[in-house]
Amino acid sequence: MNIYDVSRKAGVSIATVSRVLNGSPNVSDRTRNLVLEVMDELGYTPNVFARGLGLGTIQTIGIMCSDSSDPYLAHAIYYLEQGLRGHGYDSILCCTGNSLENKQKYFNLLRSKKVDALILAGSKFIGMKPQDNDYIIEAAGELPVMLVNGFLEGRNIYCTLCDDRSATHEAAGRLISSGCRNILYLYTSQSYSGLGKLHGYQDALSGCGLPVREDYIRQCPKDVLAARDLLMKLHDSGLCFDAVMTSDDTLAVGAVKYAHATKRSIPDELSIIGYNNSSYAVCTDPELTSIDSKIEALCTTTINTLMGVFNGSNVPSRTTIAADLIKRATTKF
Amino acid sequence: MNIYDVSRKAGVSIATVSRVLNGSPNVSDRTRNLVLEVMDELGYTPNVFARGLGLGTIQTIGIMCSDSSDPYLAHAIYYLEQGLRGHGYDSILCCTGNSLENKQKYFNLLRSKKVDALILAGSKFIGMKPQDNDYIIEAAGELPVMLVNGFLEGRNIYCTLCDDRSATHEAAGRLISSGCRNILYLYTSQSYSGLGKLHGYQDALSGCGLPVREDYIRQCPKDVLAARDLLMKLHDSGLCFDAVMTSDDTLAVGAVKYAHATKRSIPDELSIIGYNNSSYAVCTDPELTSIDSKIEALCTTTINTLMGVFNGSNVPSRTTIAADLIKRATTKF
DNA sequence: TTATGAATTGTAAGCACTTACAAGTATTTT
DNA sequence: AAAATACTTGTAAGTGCTTACAATTCATAA
């Protein structure tokens, strides 16, 4: 079943069939309808490969992420996939882990599949060492590269970012206003967005004349129990803190567990603020105050920008979206 | 840059280049190496579309799931994607929601992309009404269909299942042995695996001579707060229960919150068992006893079976994997 | 050395589509 | 009614690869 079958049955040439397939205006309504009918009757579907060969590309976008099972990225993938499909694009997903080698390998793979653009989801995608990002710059030489919650400057690179820095700035400010003086900051990784969050926290402290102490800023694996244990250790070591801010809800859940274990009351003795406003936020008692990083908005904006790029609109290479502070019960405000 | 460039530079015919591309044995080592070198020098990557046109297919598998942001499915997708890639296959992901219309539409889309097989992830994929599954039977007429944690009989349909029934049977039995007599069962949906879980629970009760009471079996949206609220309502209505089993950890977290809200102690006054042993399980205090449904094993088995189908091995159309009861702190045993 | 078969390589015909260009038809203008 | 123009349609040449079959080369046995 191919284009010839349709053309034969409709009594037209394959060129005409191809034209209606591609929505060309150079077909009379009569023939168009005729061909459409025949296609329907025959249940004809054009062969993607032949189409791709002829057109040099097919409507698909490559999505790369470090780990699709991470809740944050899982949501991103969901919104991206749905959004792209809404615009008539398919997506190919590649999970790279954090290995640079994989990233390059999968980039080549996607390139060989002639994807029309690359979407890199998650701040983990941008390495801290500039040379780790060379492959992205290189990729951008061939096709548009969209970063979801990551930042990198370069031609043909478009970033959609959450204003993490303002968000943690505001959140920390609220903690301070509500009486907290020793705010611990826990983060999972040194990504671009991770740094932004940290800076916001630091901004707030120095803005209020509080000292920014290195031992109040701690890295921790993205794991509930690891966070709890780290806090227990800090507690035992005599460090005083009356609030914990985290770069991820996972760590904040660990903080709640720490408070339970040490019988510190939340929020009276310990305030806690998470990040991402994920489904973890309502799992704890009391429920987590958390910063909503607007993943859905990030994804839809990314896709809109991409569509803009495709049809030659003048789109900004960088869009920032404001985060929301979702107040629940682990803070006094 | 195409196969002609390579053939010209290597001084061989395009057929020879194609042969080394496809690992044909009918090439002398000398020429093979020569061609390989030239390819490398030129940075040549074969055109997927031309390849697909010639071969009629390309190494890709269609994955369908209802919602890739669901943690359980997100993990499934991760393991499937990684596993397939390990066997040299790409995947195309389609999230269908629960609309039958979407399922059919996306099936057609995947078919038009000439995928080599279809993997349907999640028990939600199998409708309770037989006619809702017709499209799967139809799909299986054209290509192998793999069900991950779903069951449907039919030619060319292969199921990998978790033995949910035995798992809940054992778990409920443990609860009974530990003194529970009024075990509530909360489930999210009436899927095949959902029914299996429920039956295991019922098996255990009747096996121990306990009555199976309809009002102890409740459906609840997959949502922490909805579960908590349902339990509060049941509590207020005077229903007595000393244990809660759920078809998903989400609901079990809600049960923990219910216990906190009503100051019932866990596990002394209330035992709780979740399902899936997800990351939620360690979020609560105390941590959830949960049934591990072995999603990774399910996925790798699915892929191994599929590879078996591809190379004509005699593979079972149904594989069952035993679940694990992970004991934590919400049960007395 | 020559015949024989095996191993290697090349030629050319697909695969199913797109599209530039040519050709044909309908419509408008003069 | 003829000429000019616009609209439709068809022809045929790509697009880059695979592979059956033919041709060539090579190694082995007679």
Question: Are residues A119 and A233 located together in one domain of the fold?
Answer: no
Residue A52 belongs to a domain: no
**Residue given tokens 């068992």 in the structure block:** B273
Give exposure, A230-268, as e/b (b: 16+ Cβ within 10 Å): bbeebbeeeeebbbbbbbbbbbbbbbbbbbbeeeeebbe
> What's the CA gap between A315 and A154, in Å, rounded?
14
pLDDT tens digits, A270-305: 999 999 999 999 999 999 999 999 999 999 999 999
Residues of B in contact with A77 (CB under 8 A): 68-69, 93
Whether residue A6 contacts residue A35, with contact meaning beta carbons closer than 8 Å, is answered with yes
Range of the domain at B204: 164-293
Which of B53, B68, B279 is facing A77, going by the closest CB pair? B68
Q: Is a pLDDT exceeding 90 seen at residue A251? A: yes
Residues of B in contact with A53 (CB under 8 A): 47, 49-50, 53
Q: What's the confidence (pLDDT) of residue B207?
A: 97
Q: What's the confidence (pLDDT) of residue B190?
A: 86
Q: Which residues are CB-neighbours of A225 under 8 A, at least 6 positions away?
A: A254, A257, B282
In the β-sheet with A289-292, what is the strand arrangement from edge to edge? A217-219, A183-187, A243-246, A271-275, A289-292, A324-326
Question: Are residues A174 and A286 located together in one domain of the fold?
Answer: yes
- The answer to whether B262 contacts chain A (CB < 8 Å) is no
Q: Is a pLDDT exceeding 90 seen at residue B204? A: yes
Whether residue A158 contacts residue A147, with contact meaning beta carbons closer than 8 Å, is answered with yes
Q: What's the confidence (pLDDT) of residue B93?
A: 87
Q: In angstroms, how far is D29 C1' from B30 CA?
A: 26
| The two three-digit tokens of residue A282, written as one number | 């309502």
Q: What's the average model confidence in pLDDT over B203-214?
A: 97
| The two three-digit tokens of residue A23, written as one number | 């929505």
Question: Are residues B171 and B268 located together in one domain of the fold?
Answer: yes
Question: What is the gyration radius of the CA atoms in chain B, in angstroms?
Answer: 25
Q: How many domains does chain B have?
A: 3
Question: Are residues A194 and A133 located together in one domain of the fold?
Answer: no
Burial class (CB in 10 A: 0-12, 13-18, 19+), A31: middle
Q: What's the confidence (pLDDT) of residue A314?
A: 94
Q: Which run of H or E residues covers position A62?
A: strand A60-65
Q: Name residues 40-99 of chain A with a Cβ under 7 Å from nucleic strand D.
A: 50, 53-54
Distance from CA of B74 to the nearest CA of A (A): 5
Question: Are residues A65 and A147 located together in one domain of the fold?
Answer: yes
Average pLDDT, chain B: 94
What CATH number does residue A35 fall under? 1.10.260.40
Q: Is B119 helix (H, G, I), strand (E, B) or coil?
A: strand
Q: What's the average model confidence in pLDDT over A99-128?
A: 88
Residue B53 belongs to a domain: no
Whether residue A100 contacts residue A130, with contact meaning beta carbons closer than 8 Å, is answered with no
Residue B52 belongs to a domain: no
Q: Which run of H or E residues covers position B292?
A: strand B289-292
Question: Are residues A73 and A42 located together in one domain of the fold?
Answer: no
Residue B71 belongs to a domain: yes
- In chain A, helix, strand, coil percent, each to 5? 50, 15, 35
Q: Is A109 helix (H, G, I), strand (E, B) or coil?
A: helix
Residue B268 belongs to a domain: yes
Q: Is a pLDDT exceeding 90 seen at residue A306? A: yes
Question: Are residues A127 and A246 located together in one domain of the fold?
Answer: no
Amino acid at B7: S
Task: Judge: A77–B92 Cβ closer than 8 Å, yes or no.
Answer: no
Q: What's the confidence (pLDDT) of residue B125?
A: 82
**Residue given tokens 């054009």 in the structure block:** A46
- The answer to whether B1 contacts chain A (CB < 8 Å) is no
> What's the CA gap between A191 and A194, in Å, rounded?
5
Residue B55 belongs to a domain: no
> Is strand C less than 7 A from the beta carbon of B211?
no
Q: Scanning every residue of chain B, which has its alpha carbon at the shortest distance from the alpha carbon of A94?
A: B81
Distance from CA of A98 to the nearest CA of B (A): 14
Q: Which nucleotide is nearest to A13 (CA to C1')?
A: D10
| The two three-digit tokens of residue A322, written as one number | 């404001």
pTM for the structure as a whole: 0.91
Q: What's the average model confidence in pLDDT over B267-276?
A: 97
Q: What's the confidence (pLDDT) of residue A315?
A: 96
Question: Are residues A94 and A193 located together in one domain of the fold?
Answer: no
Q: What's the average model confidence in pLDDT over B210-238?
A: 97
Residue B276 belongs to a domain: yes
Question: Are residues B276 and B172 located together in one domain of the fold?
Answer: yes
> Which residues, listed in sequence order, are joined to residue A325 by a DSSP beta bridge?
A291
Q: Could you count the other beta carbons within 10 Å of the beta carbon of residue B169?
A: 21
Question: Are residues A258 and A188 located together in one domain of the fold?
Answer: yes
pLDDT band of B261, cuts 50, 70, 90: very high
pLDDT tens digits, B30-46: 999 999 999 999 999 99
Residue A330 belongs to a domain: no
Q: What's the average model confidence in pLDDT over A317-325?
A: 97
Q: Name residues 22-51 of chain A with a Cβ under 7 Å from nucleic strand D.
A: 25-32, 50
Question: Are residues A123 and A155 located together in one domain of the fold?
Answer: yes
Of A11-20, A251-260, B108-117, give the lowest mean pLDDT range: B108-117
Question: Are residues B224 and B284 located together in one domain of the fold?
Answer: yes
Q: What's the average model confidence in pLDDT over B291-300?
A: 97
pLDDT band of B98, cuts 50, 70, 90: confident
Torsion of CA A84, B223, A73, B197, to 10 degrees: -100
pLDDT tens digits, B44-72: 999 999 999 988 888 899 999 999 999 99
Q: Is a pLDDT exceeding 90 seen at residue B289? A: yes
Alpha-helical segments (H) within chain A: 3-10, 14-21, 29-42, 48-55, 71-86, 100-112, 134-142, 164-177, 192-207, 224-236, 249-261, 295-310
Q: Is a pLDDT exceeding 90 seen at residue A93? A: no
Distance from CA of A210 to the nearest CA of B (A): 32
Task: Judge: B77–A90 Cβ closer than 8 Å, yes or no.
Answer: no
What CATH number does residue A269 fall under? 3.40.50.2300
